[in-house]
Amino acid sequence: MAELDLTQKPIYPNSLYEAAQGVGLTSQRSRDRLVSRLLSNKQLDIEVLNAIRVTPRHLFMDEALANRAYEDTSLPIGYGQTISQPGTVALMTSWVKQGSRSLNRVLDVGTGSGYQAAILSLVAKQVYSVERIAPLSLRAQYCLDQLAVRNIRFTLSDGHWGWSTFAPYDAIVCAAAPDSIPEALVEQLAEGGRLVLPVGEKEQLLTGVEKTATGIKTITLGVAVFVPLVKGRLD
Ligand code: SAH
């Protein structure tokens, strides 16, 4: 298995990137420590772990919580929502990346802080990100703009319906839990494409769905705790 390249230069294009690196608990050393813990999970993709290593997660959350940014845990981002746990972001991204399709177009359902979208932007050509809460979407767009990430398009709508304009997608990553797999998301997958999402009310199963020529194949990747996928949008 390939080793992590710890000498890799930051891959965000922004010239202000150095300033965004953080100090102490938000420093590069803290990100390296997080990634070296995640490395013990052999399901995780090296390129995805490198993306986690160079992404300043502390910028995607409240300053008051920034000192916890490199703990492997989800944290509140306001509006009753959370920034996803890095280990879970790594697992979901790795699983879709290990499918048969290269990641040219990826749909991210539940923009939230924008952290999952940032990781996807480093391993996919183009990312499409859907959120139902306007202020969260705007804050995520501001943060990703600061990092000069240019390959994400955002929209404000109910992710139950996917984003048909740019379908089909090579992969869909959904960070909020529906009761059952939304049909539109499966419809908007290309053949061989992969969808990963938590399914269920209280006890959620992190579910992987692969679209085949004749239907779908599903597998369970683990248990998860996500916020629910809520109907309708909120301005
Ligand atoms: N990917 C985010 C996770 C945020 S939590 C991150 O890395 O920070 C899940 C997000 O899904 C929340 O922001 C929530 O508002 C959003 N969400 C919930 N239901 C939704 C729906 N029906 N359509 C779009 N987004 C939804």
Domain ranges (residues) in the chain? 17-224
Query: What's the pLDDT at 169?
Result: 98
Distance from C-alpha of 8 to C-alpha of 28, rounded to nearest angstrom = 12
Give 192's DSSP letter: E
Mutating to test ligand 1, I would choose from 109, 139, 181 the residue with most ligand atoms within 8 A of its C-beta, which is 109
Residues with a known catalytic role: 84
Tens-place pLDDT, residues 2-29: 566 655 555 666 545 666 677 788 888 9
Q: What is the pLDDT of residues 66-123, one digit of tens each?
A: 999 999 999 999 999 999 999 999 999 999 999 999 999 999 999 999 999 999 999 9
Overall average pLDDT of the 133-153 stretch:
94
Q: Ligand 1: which atom is nearest the Cα of residue 82?
A: 5
Homologous superfamily, domain 17-224: Vaccinia Virus protein VP39 (3.40.50.150)
* Helical axes 115-123 vs 86-97, angle rounded to 10°: 30
Q: Kindly give the number of the ligand 1 atom that is closest to the alpha carbon of 159.
A: 23
Rounded to two decimals, the pTM is 0.94
CA distance 77 to 46: 28
Ligand 1: which residues within 6 Å by Cβ?
81-84, 109-110, 112-113, 115-116, 130-133, 136, 158-160, 175-176, 227, 229-230
Please give the angle made by the CA atoms of 21, 127 and 161, to the nearest 5 degrees: 130
Tell me what pLDDT residue 11 has: 62
Nearest to 91 by CA among 187, 223, 228: 223
pLDDT tens digits, 167-193: 999 999 999 999 999 999 999 999 999
pLDDT higher than threshold 50 for residue 230: yes
pLDDT band at 206 (very low <50, low <70, confident <90, very high): very high
Which spans in the chain are helix H?
28-38, 46-54, 86-97, 115-123, 134-146, 183-187
Give me ligand 1 centre to Cα 8, in Å: 31
What pLDDT is stored for residue 202 in this prediction?
80
Q: How confident is the model at residue 1 (pLDDT cuts 50, 70, 90)?
A: very low
